[in-house]
Structure 1
Amino acid sequence: MTAKPSIRVAAAPISWGVCEVPGWGRVLDAPTVLGEMAELGVTATELGPPGYLPREPAELKTLLGGHGLRLIGGFLAVVLHENPEAALAEAEDSAALFAACGAEVLVLAAATGLEGYDERPALSEAEWSTLISTAGKIRDLAAAHGLKTVLHPHVGTHAETQAEVERFLADSDLPLCLDTGHLLIGGTDPVELARKFPERVGHLHLKDVRGELAEAVRAGKLPYAEAVGRGLYVPLGEGDVDIEAMVRFVHEAGYDGWYVLEQDTALDERSPVDLPKRDVATSLAHLGEIVSRLG
């Protein structure tokens, strides 16, 4: 009898509306978020934005352990194209914390230096070169802590469009965090990117998006944060990303990393208190059905 395939599934606080962007929305407290992860059967999570969870390793491990959770790593949006020393200091702080908690991956994004993700100043050739160099230095720094670094193409950063993503892949040897939602919004088919560069898939963020809102963001007709508030992200299987094709392809290509359910959510005072938990439950069920069909 052939054993059923299994994958490593994790969650992230952003699915509960916890975001570093000022004015993003209502932020649920950590015991609520971690407790709901546990109730859904999730056993691993990314860290979430700076300051949301404790930065002292023993305190963080105790908090997560009380909910049956382990830390797998976290997202670090840092300015890479100027002041490399400041970027390295910020990365060192996160890498040391992740390593002390037994995490595996540092998810790096090329921040613009502006608040939020609605504007993107153009980079000069020299700034792009600094970005590539700084990313490599952070990769080496994190490796000294036993961590893998992946570059996260992300709306409102300096690696957003298909041309930028492919330029990064050509100029750097860092693997990517393939975020199915952010890639699609930026104009890249995530499945085709994975097919073209299977050896560069280092981490997965699974999310689904509504295509018409993604197109509005891409065309500059709708600010990113406003689109999120309008329901840009939906549970897996309810949007326009071919999640099954992505999961099937990376699985068959030998990917053995984490599949992080990460549906960017913005809550307001009218949002049902159980909305995030219901949406993540829907995504978990859809992912389970996909995995059950894998050969």
Structure 2
Amino acid sequence: MINGIANAPVSFGIFELTTDQDFPEPEAILAPLRDSGYDGIDLGPAGWLGRGEQLQDRLREYGMALAGGWVDMPFTAPDAEFETALSGLDDVLEIFTAAAAVAPERPPLPTLADQGSETRRATPGGAPEVMLDSAGWERLAANVGRAAERVRAAGLEPTFHHHACTYVETPEEIDEFLARSDVDLTLDTGHLIIGGGDPVAAWQRWRDRINHLHVKDVRTEVVTGVLRERAGMRAVWERRAFVPLGAGDLDVPTFMDTVMADGFDGWLVVEQDVAPSPSDPPNRAFDDQRGNREALRPWLPTTPLSR
């Protein structure tokens, strides 16, 4: 049974791409998410939700648990660069462990992801000429293993997020990753579609290795336009390829029927990545996330905490 229903700061334009903007205070996000029927939130940029007791107090006040959080690392970089990234991982793990004390029965999953490269980031969907060779895969798998050791030493279980414009993006690359690593997978429906996969088939193929779930919808026609123009991943966000559930190319009913029938017992995180624009209608993000929660009520009428 689903362990929690979360949303994410990225649904409100709060993520690494937009750190040059002023973010709203966490309370402005936590309250409407709680009122819409979510009982968890993803981390967002490290520190935005607070640290230590401040983070714990915020989560308790709004009846929220931390579901996970994005930790991208240069898994194919030279050793010195990766060592520096490991120090950054240690810092963010302190945030995760503080949050885990709030809801120890359903702790957050630090969500590891590859940083890719400039070439890869310019090629959403991947292409043969930008994929890793055998030596690259060996380096990536070894470094993921080192990061996972740090996460497990902190008393948490890692998950790995396949992501557009990184070296683990396409179904073939996800297969290769899972064959080389004991870290389980965050299945992200939107990014899988961008990478050329089918979410239902992916669920059926990797079900035994999926320990975290990001549900997002995407308009493939927008992504196709970005690919045609070679405009890069930033354009995918800015052109609003990610849309409310049911407005894109994800078959939400079939996917949710399949997940629920298999008794998935991890976190389900609703995401709708957006890069905010001054021309956006007021409260657009809040309305979208309320609507996304309503779209899931046929399968998840209540939150786990209210059962």
- TM-score category, normalised to shorter length: 0.7 to 0.9
Alignment match, 1:21: 17
Alignment match, 1:70: 65
Alignment match, 2:103: none
- Which range moves more in the overlay, 264-273 or 58-67? 58-67
- Which range moves more in the overlay, 208-217 or 18-27? 18-27
- Pick from 40, 43, 46 the counterpart of residue 44 of structure 1: 40
Pick closer, same or farther for the CA change 1:91–1:220 going to 2, 3 Å.
farther
Between the aligned partners of 2:220 and 2:254, the Cα distance in structure 1 is 17
Once the two structures are superposed, residues 165-191 of structure 1 have per-residue CA deviations (whole angstroms, 9 ceiling, x without a partner) of: 111112212211000000101111121
Pick closer, same or farther for the CA change 1:217–1:191 going to 2, 3 Å.
farther
Residue type of the partner of 2:85? A
* Paired residues of 2:226 and 2:235 also in contact (CA < 8 A): no
| Percent identity over paired residues | 31
- Aligned-pair CA distance for 1:134: 1.2
Secondary structure in structure 2 of the residue aligned to 1:151: strand
Once the two structures are superposed, residues 3-48 of structure 1 have per-residue CA deviations (whole angstroms, 9 ceiling, x without a partner) of: xx76620111000111101578674332322222123232211110
Between the aligned partners of 2:187 and 2:73, the Cα distance in structure 1 is 18
Alignment match, 2:245: 236
Equivalences for residues 111-260 of structure 1 within 5 A: 111-112=115-116, 117-118=121-122, 123-218=132-227, 221-260=230-269
Alignment match, 2:86: 88
- Aligned-pair CA distance for 1:80: 1.1
What is the CA RMSD across the aligned residues, in angstroms? 2.5
Secondary structure in structure 1 of the residue aligned to 2:176: helix
Between the aligned partners of 2:185 and 2:261, the Cα distance in structure 1 is 18
* Paired residues of 2:122 and 2:230 also in contact (CA < 8 A): no
- Aligned-pair CA distance for 1:124: 4.5
Alignment length (residue pairs): 287
Pick closer, same or farther for the CA change 1:115–1:261 going to 2, 3 Å.
farther
Alignment match, 1:109: 113
- Pick from 243, 265, 272 the counterpart of residue 274 of structure 2: 265
- Aligned-pair CA distance for 1:64: 2.6
Uncovered stretches (5+) of structure 2, i.e. residues with no partner:
101-106, 302-307
Pick closer, same or farther for the CA change 1:161–1:26 going to 2, 3 Å.
farther
Pick closer, same or farther for the CA change 1:233–1:291 going to 2, 3 Å.
same
Secondary structure in structure 1 of the residue aligned to 2:296: helix
TM-score, length of structure 1 as denominator length: 0.88
- Which range moves more in the overlay, 224-233 or 201-210? 224-233
* Paired residues of 2:3 and 2:267 also in contact (CA < 8 A): yes
Pick closer, same or farther for the CA change 1:220–1:261 going to 2, 3 Å.
same
* Paired residues of 2:46 and 2:92 also in contact (CA < 8 A): no
TM-score, length of structure 2 as denominator length: 0.85
* Paired residues of 2:8 and 2:41 also in contact (CA < 8 A): yes
Between the aligned partners of 2:47 and 2:145, the Cα distance in structure 1 is 26
